Amino acid sequence: MQFPTITISALTVLLSLAALSEAGASCKGVYRPFRNSFVVEADEVPSISDICNGFYDNLKPGCALTGGKCGGTNHKLHWDFNIPTTCGDRQVQDAWWAATRNKYGSIVCKIEKSNDIFGRQHPKDVLAEAVSVE
């Protein structure tokens, strides 16, 4: 029995997408006064130093990193870093994509609600609460 070329091509695409969805990558962000702190993790990364360097190179043009540490063992990448509040989740996601083309999974970074050093809510959270209608 011979399958049409279109069926085989569609099957190849579906299998590729399934492999991407199984890749384990994550991102968490926390607002801090004057900076956003992020942790990016990914599984099955064969060359951690290459990905760390690529991620850093793609993030640094618009965002000054501070306190960054990127590394890992057993093909598990772990990177924690801080960027100014003028940079946010979108820049981190874009830098990840540029460095990996989402080969190890895509990331969606959300900056968690938190309080500043004076116990006040993040300004974006206060605005969202003021505007929301329940």
Domain ranges in the chain are: 22-131
pLDDT value at residue 123: 53
What are the pLDDT digits (tens) for 41-99? 999 999 999 999 999 999 988 898 887 899 999 999 999 999 998 898 999 999 999 99
The domain defined by 22-131 folds into Alpha-Beta Plaits (3.30.70)
What pTM, to 2 d.p., does this model score?
A: 0.68
pLDDT value at residue 65: 86
Per the prediction, the chain carries an average pLDDT of 78
Residues 6+ away with beta carbon under 8 Å from 50:
none
Specify whether the CB–CB gap between 59 and 91 falls below 8 A. yes
- Going by the DSSP 8-state scheme, the letter that residue 8 receives in this structure is H
Residues 6+ away with beta carbon under 8 Å from 76:
41, 42, 43, 45
pLDDT value at residue 121: 59
pLDDT value at residue 3: 52
How far apart are alpha carbons 55 and 101 in whole angstroms? 11
